Structure 1
Amino acid sequence: MNKATPKISALLITFNEEDNINEVLANLSFADEIIVVDSYSTDNTLKLIRENKNVKLICRKFVNYTDQKKYALEQANYDWILFLDADERITPSLKDEILKVITEPDAASAYFFQRTFMFKTKKIYFSGWQSDKNYRLFRKSKVHFDQDRIVHETLVVDGASATMKHKLLHFSYKNYEDYKGKMLKYGRMKAKEEAKKGKKARWYHFIFRPLYKFINHYIIRLGILDGKKGLIICYLNALGVYARYKELKQLQS
């Protein structure tokens, strides 16, 4: 008798994702359950989620990314977890690979997904994003989130990790102001994380850390080959680093 195919819980955490939510929910429709934990969105996100009858919606106050994702993980009914951001999309090839991987007897505990960064509708090939990857598929029974990280959360894996062959599409750049807002937000949250560890902001951090970020991504990691798009992305990533130390300085005082 054939062993039953493992079931998948697809998880999302959201806030004001009206531009993404319908597409990502449709993208995840092959999962056996979809759970969205929303931080009380003020746009049409909640209305659009509620129109999807096969989606379980939970509204919960946002503390930080790790706290929210840990909570979402606890709500899942199945061991295999597919945890996406609202601006990520699974290609048909990646979907087929996911469904194959979870049936393998020697499957890893967790899988990295490489991501193709999208500047609106155009692919970015460099700018520091060429090696970008994150855990997106894993077994609930084999992982937990590192509680010391509150942004760019870290998954601690018990067992082997592997990397999927096909890439995830990452539609992170919608427009200049939106991406700038993300970088500033991440920078400020990173500052809170570092403040808890007792780190201090010095005058030279405001100059050399953003400058290094820009040079590393634009020159060393070939952002210059992405043209104007690469210049914008590398500048805004460096701005996020500046925001981190500005916030850290304020937290010190």
Structure 2
Amino acid sequence: MSTVTVIILAKNEEQNIKDCIDTVGFADEVLVIDDFSTDRTSEIAISMGARVVQHAMNGDWGGQQTFGIKEAKSKWILFLDADERISPALGAEIVAAVNKDEPKAYWIQRRNKFHYNEATHGVLRPDYVLRLMPAEGSYVEGYVHPAIITPYEETKLQGPMYHYTYDNWQQYFNKFNNYTTLAAEKYKAAGKSCSFFKDIIIRPSWAFFKVYILDRGFLDGKMGFILSVNHYFYTMIKYVKLYYLLKSNGKL
């Protein structure tokens, strides 16, 4: 019978790690790659039976995931974020896929959730993420939005995975600031140019129109409008940062 390791990358996730691990009782191994948390993340994970390995991420999410693959002891791996939860239906599908042991990689539907609000369209509409696969031959590349590379045929599982996106607006905008900086740096490293008119004036307006109208963010009411406006500013700010990185190395 094949085995599966759940790989969780974590840093200061003491509020999430227990609930996350609670949903993967089917796993043969839970491996937490801890980016030197200063809270009780490691302590809680160990108490839940997880194996914790401390390893500095240094902004390289893809490199951290690849490190996790190399550390995993099972034939199969399942990537899970600390703020994600595997539904019982999805857990049963994962067990069946691993036991079938076909050389395939599986996409999982991720449904975004808040604790007290709902948004199921626009920016937070459900999407599919590649998360379950044999470890051999698999690796991850990329900093901000890494891509999982596998040599296997890809297919989809049906059960949902729930993603508890943000606890509060401070957390939201901390991530907003971090991700726009990383995106701008990635664009600069890739040699991407930046037009003030096209990228800072026009592109954000299109980004808002796409998520609010085409992706029906308006159906989510007040939260849908707020998230769509934030997406406008997210798009603008990452190009503002790129513009000034290219112009004056980020200095104003």
Using the size of structure 2 for normalisation, the TM-score is 0.90
Counterpart for residue 84 of structure 2: 88
Structure 2: give runs of 5+ residues left out of the alignment.
none
Distance 1:117-1:55 versus aligned 2 partners, 3 A rule: same
Deviation at 1:56, TM superposition (A): 1.2
Inter-partner Cα distance in structure 1 for 2:215 and 2:37:
36
Superimposed CA distance per residue, residues 176-195 of structure 1 (whole angstroms, 9 cap, x where no aligned partner): 22122223222211222111
SS of the residue aligned with 1:124? coil
Distance 1:250-1:38 versus aligned 2 partners, 3 A rule: farther
**Pairs aligned (count):** 245
**Contact 1:109–1:142, Cα closer than 8 Å, also in 2:** no
- Asked if 1:30 is matched to 2:23, the reply is no
Distance 1:7-1:166 versus aligned 2 partners, 3 A rule: same
Counterpart for residue 182 of structure 1: 175
* Identity percentage of aligned residues: 28
Distance 1:17-1:243 versus aligned 2 partners, 3 A rule: farther
Counterpart for residue 218 of structure 2: 224
Moved more, 86-95 or 43-52: 43-52
Using the size of structure 1 for normalisation, the TM-score is 0.90
Counterpart for residue 140 of structure 1: 135
Counterpart for residue 167 of structure 1: 160
**Contact 2:207–2:235, Cα closer than 8 Å, also in 1:** yes
Deviation at 1:123, TM superposition (A): 4.2
Counterpart for residue 13 of structure 1: 9
Counterpart for residue 195 of structure 1: 188
Regions of 4+ moved over 6 Å: none
Superimposed CA distance per residue, residues 140-198 of structure 1 (whole angstroms, 9 cap, x where no aligned partner): 1142223xx21111012212100111111111122222122223222211222111111
Distance 1:244-1:237 versus aligned 2 partners, 3 A rule: same
Amino acid at match of 1:181: N
Inter-partner Cα distance in structure 1 for 2:154 and 2:118:
27
Counterpart for residue 113 of structure 1: 108
Counterpart for residue 35 of structure 2: 39
Deviation at 1:242, TM superposition (A): 2.4
**Contact 2:118–2:223, Cα closer than 8 Å, also in 1:** no
- Asked if 1:158 is matched to 2:158, the reply is no
Alignment equivalent of 1:243, drawn from 222, 237, 248: 237
Superimposed CA distance per residue, residues 30-78 of structure 1 (whole angstroms, 9 cap, x where no aligned partner): 21111111112233323322433x2111122222111111111110111
Inter-partner Cα distance in structure 1 for 2:244 and 2:14:
33
Inter-partner Cα distance in structure 2 for 1:163 and 1:22:
27
Inter-partner Cα distance in structure 2 for 1:213 and 1:8:
39
Q: CA RMSD in A?
A: 1.8
Amino acid at match of 2:108: F
Inter-partner Cα distance in structure 2 for 1:79 and 1:237:
39
Moved more, 117-126 or 89-98: 117-126
Amino acid at match of 2:61: Y
Structure 1: give runs of 5+ residues left out of the alignment.
none
Inter-partner Cα distance in structure 1 for 2:232 and 2:67:
31
Counterpart for residue 70 of structure 2: 74
Counterpart for residue 209 of structure 1: 203
Amino acid at match of 2:188: A
Moved more, 198-207 or 132-141: 198-207
